[in-house]
Amino acid sequence: MRVAVVGSGIVGASAAWHAAGLGADVVLAGRAAPGEATAAGAGVICPWGSENDDPDWFRAAAEGARYYPELIGGLTEAGEHGLGHRAVGALALAADDADLHRIRRRVLERRRDTADTGEVDLLGESEVRALFPPLAPGYRAVRIAAGARVDGGRLRDALLRQARHRGVDVRTGRAALLRTADRVTGVEVDGERIAADAVVVAAGAWAPELLAPAGVTVRVAPQRGQIVHLSLPGTDTGNWPVVMPRGTGHYLVPFDGSRIVAGATRETGTGFDHRVTAAGLAEVLTEALAVAPGLADAGHLETRVGFRPVGPDTRPLLGRVPQLAGLVVADGLGPTGLTVGPWAGRVAALLATGGDPGLDLSPYDPVR
């Protein structure tokens, strides 16, 4: 069978690679639009410490985190290296003992059904600053050993390379859905009609404009995120843990090459305005320096801007579209795109090829 995938971010690349691995003839259509979320995202993989209380969101996020070792192992066996993925651990910061124990209880509760957290340790101030030296004094933390980070752009590029090795026809261009009566029949890419038995839409924040002409409404909107990359020359940051302050939505993510990523704004109502703004830059740096004043002398490398595809709630939009046979949507991942994305792409590939993902997808109904 032939599967068409629209969207070349982390979800689309994963869907194409998996669908080809399942024996499908696959064509992937993406466009190089500024603000693609995959390339901008910081890549925190640690759903266990999140303050999101939606159990269905957590189920998807935990599946995404659980899938990473298998994914990275498969790509490594195929010859891919330097994916920017490492289980460096994560520090969920707490200002007092009550907060510390509340965070730990939450993490341990979530570990009941998933053993992915690894060790969950309570760390004192000196231990916390030994692991992440720029932090302000006074913080204690819950250390979640399985917390990880990933370079989304590198991972997406590796998936696309391996998709090509599996025979995927990767194209760049503006796509439109083709339909006849109550089913999709393929896609049109820059005027060329390509027949397909199933179509996976993973177009991120641009999904509504793709689906609307086919009579399908998805409640996805762009949310601008500004993310600052800093440099600490001469400092080996590659094994530093991810830092997650409580209640701010901000974070600090270390990478190799003396790089620290600080993020991020969550700006609704901006449309596709792809600019670094004074207010956005000030917000990110203020939050970062409040937690880690030791970063004050860091150099500014770049500020990335991405548009998170935000749905009607925090859960992904993932599943078949009942009113249009052959259509699968994998979108609306919001700020957890790099956590959930590779797994969501795998699920979409299974659905498109007639497989069973082994999970009740009704909470993720893409047209809810």
Per-residue pLDDT of the chain (368 residues), as tens digits, is 999 999 999 999 999 999 999 999 999 999 888 899 998 998 999 999 999 999 999 999 999 999 999 999 999 999 999 899 999 999 999 978 899 999 999 999 888 766 578 899 999 999 999 999 999 999 999 999 999 999 999 999 999 999 999 999 999 999 999 999 999 999 999 999 999 999 999 999 999 999 999 999 999 999 999 999 999 999 999 999 999 998 888 999 999 999 999 999 999 999 999 999 999 999 999 999 999 999 999 999 999 999 999 999 999 999 999 999 999 999 999 999 999 999 999 999 999 999 999 999 999 999 99
What CA–CA distance (Å, rounded) separates 340 from 345? Answer: 9
Token digits of residue 132 = 């992440």
Please check whether residue 340 is in contact with residue 263, taking contact to mean a CB–CB distance below 8 angstroms.
Answer: no
DSSP 139-189: -EEEEETT-EE--HHHHHHHHHHHHHHTT-EEEES-EEEEEETTEEEEEEE
d(CA 181, CA 326): 12
What tokens appear for 223 in the block? Answer: 């949310």
C-alpha dist (Å) from residue 207 to 6, 214, 324: 9, 12, 15
What distance lies between CA 264 and its chain's CA centroid? 14
Structural domains of the chain, with CATH: 2-39+153-220+313-364 (3.50.50.60), 90-146 (no CATH), 221-310 (3.30.9.10)
What pLDDT does 115 receive?
A: 59
Q: How many other C-beta atoms are found inside a 10 Å radius of the C-beta of residue 124?
A: 12
Specify whether the CB–CB gap between 234 and 258 falls below 8 A: yes
Output the CA–CA distances (angstroms, integers) from residue 137 to 95, 208, 237, 291, in the order listed: 10, 46, 19, 9
CB 163 within 8 A of CB 3: no
Neighbours of 331 (CB within 10 A): 31
Is the N-terminal amide bond of 40 cis, ω within 30° of 0?
no
Q: Tell the burial category of 1 from Cβ atoms under 10 Å away from its Cβ (0-12, 13-18, 19+).
A: middle
Cα separation, 221 vs 135, in Å, equals 35
Q: Count CB neighbours of 349 within 10 A.
A: 28
The residue assigned the tokens 């659980």 is 66
Separation of alpha carbons 197 and 25, rounded Å: 10
- The pTM of the whole model exceeds 0.85: yes
Q: Which residue has the tokens 């090795």?
A: 165
